[in-house]
Amino acid sequence: MACWLTRRRSLLISLFLTIVELPLLCYGGLLLLRSPRTNQERVLFRGITYKRLARSLPRRVMIHIVTIDLTAPGIKVFVTRSGGNDFS
């Protein structure tokens, strides 16, 4: 009888550790795949620039800025009516 209880207890402990450890391992693995917290600036297209700023004070934050140069050739403003999706 004692052997059966020991095996059952061992099984429950193993099951509990699997349920707790598996999500932690998956989350930790995903953290390793994140891009580094560095400043970055690059041109996506002619007239469109992307800038990423990493800040740590007063708290950790990543700022994403997209700048559109409306004077660049091929870029124009397109506005739709409110509530309408008729393009005629």
pLDDT digits (tens, 9 = 90+) for 32-66: 777 778 899 999 999 999 999 999 888 889 999 99
What 3-state class would DSSP assign to 70?
coil
For residue 32, give both structure tokens: 């390793």
* C-alpha pair distances (Å), 29 with each of 39, 48, 68, 71, 86: 23, 33, 36, 44, 46
What 3-state class would DSSP assign to 47?
coil
Contact by Cβ (8 Å): 57, 72: no
Please state the domain extents for the chain: 1-34, 35-75
pTM, rounded to two decimals: 0.54
The strand pairing partners of 62, in sequence order, are 54
